[in-house]
């Protein structure tokens, strides 16, 4: 499973695990059996790549991956650095991850934030050279930080696999400032997280359950009506839903969408959307309409507050 082409789309798991988290944030929790069926659908569709981190599902997400995912499934996990560094911290955290995953290896391991880049990446390079990590990626990095990380990895003879940043129809800053092109020029994958903006890019249905996210989004949803309309029209042309248009928007540009899936139909949708190619004209219409609404969610660099100064 080393061919990069298999990374068509990624199953996001940050709402796996805690029922309370699901209920409060998303309006409903899902049970273990539903997640089991979701995993089965992902395996059947060849979308067997699960993206996670220690805090997902209030700490339960990784354990569920270990319990529910068969050995052939690929795991994309992260080390989340704080604003202090203590030698050996990545290895210690990684060993805990392996216990959660019930494995001796992680397929892709990301440095979740650009804190202590040299120190943390050096530890990841050691794990890579020991064969415990299949690929190294970086997440929530600016272009300058990406270049710094790549230089360090190049010097160690280790490829930079990918950059995982926030990107969607309404959050395209990483494209505008050249990061996405830099990735393409260097054969580095760009993975987009929250392509549905945690539900904001799913046009609301009448009678759907209220949740914290939906309350936060209420005002923005009405401003996004022109975009929803275009997504519907374009989706109908391709036989997909408006939400799938947000996924296909990424894959049509060579960007790998990570989509939060906790129900089997969401895998089916993601798989189908990743094969749809929107035309340049359709992409332009979506971008222009999104820009004209002026709607943003904290911007594409929303975790900068957690990055150490200096
Ligand atoms: N690297 C990082 O710093 C970072 C940060 C955040 C997230 N991530 C990764 O990115 C993933 C995606 O982000 P996310 O899960 O927060 O948000 P998301 O994928 O943008 O949106 C999830 C929302 O979309 C809905 N949805 C999913 N598939 C759908 C479909 N086919 N049709 C209609 N609605 C659909 C879900 O509905 P339900 O509520 O009904 O399930 C949920 O409300 C995460 O799971 C995580 O793996 C990475």
Confidence of residue 310 (pLDDT cuts 50, 70, 90): low
Residue 148: alpha-carbon gap to chain centroid: 22
Ligand 1 near 168 CB (within 6 A):
no
Distance of CA 200 to the CA centre of its chain: 16
Q: pLDDT value at position 287?
A: 98
Q: Are 49 and 74 in contact (CB under 8 A)?
A: yes
In terms of C-beta density within 10 A (0-12 exposed, 13-18 middle, 19 or more buried), how is residue 274 classed?
A: buried
129, pLDDT greater than 70: yes
- Cα(264) to ligand 1 centroid in Å equals 14
Determine the pLDDT at residue 59. Answer: 87
Query: pLDDT-derived band of residue 162, with 50, 70 and 90 as boundaries?
Result: very high
284, 288, 192, 278: which is closest to 237 by C-alpha?
A: 278
- Least confident interval from 12-16, 107-111, 210-214, 253-257: 210-214
Question: Are residues 293 and 219 in contact, defined by beta-carbon separation less than 8 angstroms?
Answer: no
For residue 82, how many other CB atoms are within 10 A of its CB? 12
Q: What is the mean pLDDT of residues 82-94?
A: 96
**Ligand 1 contacts CB of residue 259 (under 6 A):** yes
Q: Would you give the end-to-end CA distance of the chain in angstroms? A: 39
Q: Which residue has the tokens 């359950």?
A: 209
Give the model's pLDDT for residue 209: 66
Tokens in use for 65? 């991956």
Does residue 79 have a pLDDT over 90? Answer: yes
d(CA 108, CA 77): 6
Mean pLDDT of 275-294: 97
Of 127-131, 255-259, 292-296, which gets the smallest average pLDDT? 292-296
Question: Which DSSP category does 26 fall into?
Answer: I
- Asked whether the predicted pLDDT for residue 5 surpasses 90, the reply is no
Give pLDDT, residue 210. 62
CA of 153 from ligand 1 middle (Å) equals 30
Q: How far is it, in rounded angstroms, from Cα 233 to Cα 174? A: 27
User: How do residues 201-248 score in pLDDT, each as one tens digit?
Assistant: 998 877 666 667 667 777 788 899 999 999 999 999 999 999 999 999
Indicate if the pLDDT at residue 3 is higher than 60: no
Our CA angle for 182, 174, 1, nearest 5°, is 60
Judged against a pLDDT cut of 50, whether residue 2 lies above it is answered with no
Output the pLDDT for position 230.
98
Q: What is the pLDDT of residue 20?
A: 73
By most ligand atoms within 8 Å of CB, the mutation choice from 145, 166, 259, 272 for ligand 1 is 259
Return the pLDDT at 239: 98
pLDDT of residue 23: 73
What's the rounded Cα separation, in Å, for the pair 37 and 12?
15
Check pocket membership of 165 for ligand 1, CB cut-off 6 A. Answer: no
Is the CB of 196 inside a 6 Å radius of any atom of ligand 1? yes
Give domain 4-306's CATH superfamily.
NADP-dependent oxidoreductase domain (3.20.20.100)
Identify the weakest region by mean pLDDT among 48-52, 75-79, 117-121, 208-212: 208-212
Helix 242-251 and helix 280-293, axial crossing angle in degrees, nearest 10 = 110
Q: Is 197 in the pocket of ligand 1 (CB under 6 A)?
A: yes
Number of C-beta neighbours around residue 254 at 10 A: 11
Q: Is 262 in the pocket of ligand 1 (CB under 6 A)?
A: yes
Rounded to two decimals, what is the model's pTM? 0.95
**266 close to ligand 1 (CB < 6 Angstrom):** yes
| Domain ranges for the chain | 4-306
What backbone phi and psi angles, to 5 degrees, belong to 154?
Answer: -55, -45
C-alpha 258 – ligand 1 centre gap (Å): 7
For the CA of 244, the closest atom of ligand 1 is 31
């Amino acid at each position: 499973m080393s061919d990069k082409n298999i990374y068509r789309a990624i199953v996001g798991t940050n709402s796996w695990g805690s029922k309370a988290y699901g209920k409060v944030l998303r309006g409903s929790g899902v049970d273990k059996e539903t997640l089991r069926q979701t995993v089965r659908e992902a395996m059947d569709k060849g979308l067997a790549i699960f993206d996670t981190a220690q805090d997902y599902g209030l700490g339960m997400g990784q354990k569920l991956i270990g319990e529910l995912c068969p050995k052939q499934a690929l795991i994309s996990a992260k080390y989340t650095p704080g604003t202090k560094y203590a030698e050996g911290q990545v290895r210690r955290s990684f060993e805990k991850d392996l216990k959660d995953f019930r494995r001796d290896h992680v397929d892709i391991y990301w440095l979740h934030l650009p804190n202590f880049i040299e120190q943390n990446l050096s530890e990841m390079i050691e794990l890579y050279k020991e064969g415990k990590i299949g690929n190294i990626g970086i997440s929530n990095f600016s272009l300058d930080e990406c270049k710094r990380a790549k230089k360090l990895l190049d010097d160690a003879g280790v490829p930079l696999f990918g950059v995982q940043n926030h990107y969607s129809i309404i959050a395209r800053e990483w494209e505008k400032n050249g990061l996405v092109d830099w990735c393409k020029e260097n054969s580095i994958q760009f993975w987009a997280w929250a392509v549905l903006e945690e539900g904001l890019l799913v046009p609301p249905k009448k009678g759907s359950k209220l949740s914290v996210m939906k309350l936060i989004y209420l005002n923005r949803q009405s401003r996004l009506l022109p975009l929803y309309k275009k997504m519907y029209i374009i989706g109908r042309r391709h036989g997909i839903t408006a939400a799938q248009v947000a996924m296909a928007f990424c894959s049509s540009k060579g960007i790998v969408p990570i989509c939060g899936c906790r129900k089997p139909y969401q895998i089916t949708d993601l798989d189908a959307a990743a094969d749809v190619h929107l035309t340049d004209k359709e992409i332009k219409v979506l971008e222009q309409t999104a820009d004209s609404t002026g709607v943003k969610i904290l911007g594409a660099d929303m975790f900068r507050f957690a990055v150490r100064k200096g």
